[in-house]
Amino acid sequence: MRRALPAFLAVLLFVPQLPARTNRDWNNVKKLHPGTQVEIFLWRGDRLDGEVETVSDTGLRLAIDDYAGPRVGPSRDVDRTAIRSIVRVRHHNWPDAHKWLLSGALAGGAIGVTTGAITDVKNHDHQSRWFTDGFAGTALGFAASCGALFVILSVDTAKNIHGSATRFVYEDDSNLPPNSGRQRAVPNRFK
């Protein structure tokens, strides 16, 4: 054991330094797909929100989010030298709860009415089981839709806990003077 430790340390001295994973490489930005939601922090202090349209070696084209009107507003070209950092933002892709609950209740009701009507016809007793079975089917369909939505939202929440919903893609420190004391542009929600 005593011989292994010095040998291990000697090997570490001669092993070339491994490159650290960095977010200062513009190629990370070039890997973003069109439609990716990002926040861009500019050197002059502005912040842009939008979807990536195209990326080149000199900059990118961003479809700016328009919160007053349609989802995506006008496009804007952003020069690479003006960008301080880029953060990729993952939005939740949750289903429309109203549609799920309504369609679950309607499907359950239709199945309940159908089974009740079939039972009434088979038994020839005409006890209006179609009405009570339809009501029970509606309640079960609604409950099943609630359960399915709960599972979907739980899985999406678990993904956000283990895999961050936001990620720094690019950060440029080249315009900072040495020992300037300035920090990178971090949105308030990351602090």
Asked if 120 contacts 77 with a C-beta cutoff of 8 angstroms, the reply is: no
pLDDT category at 120 given cuts 50, 70, 90 is confident
Q: What is the pLDDT of residue 128?
A: 74
pLDDT of 1 above 60: yes
Phi, psi of 186 (to 5 degrees): -120, 125
Provide the pLDDT confidence category of residue 177 given band limits of 50, 70 and 90: very low
Task: Give the pLDDT of residue 97.
Answer: 81
Q: What is the pLDDT of the chain when averaged over all its residues?
A: 76
**Residue among 172, 101, 173 at smallest CA distance from 140:** 101
Question: Of the candidates 85, 87, 89, 78, which has an alpha carbon nearest to the alpha carbon of residue 183?
Answer: 85
pLDDT of residue 22: 58
Q: Tens digits of per-residue pLDDT, 77-119?
A: 899 889 999 888 876 667 788 888 888 888 888 888 888 888 8
Q: What confidence tens digit (pLDDT) does each residue in 13-72 have?
A: 665 554 445 567 888 888 888 888 888 899 988 888 888 999 998 889 988 876 655 555
- Label residue 83 exposed, middle or buried (CB < 10 Å: 0-12, 13-18, 19+): buried
Whether the per-residue pLDDT at 163 is higher than 70: the answer is: no
Report residue 190's pLDDT band, with 50, 70 and 90 as the boundaries. very low
- Residue 9 is predicted with a pLDDT of 62
pLDDT, residue 19, reads: 46
Lowest mean pLDDT among 91-95, 156-160, 187-191: 187-191
Longest dimension (CA), the chain: 93
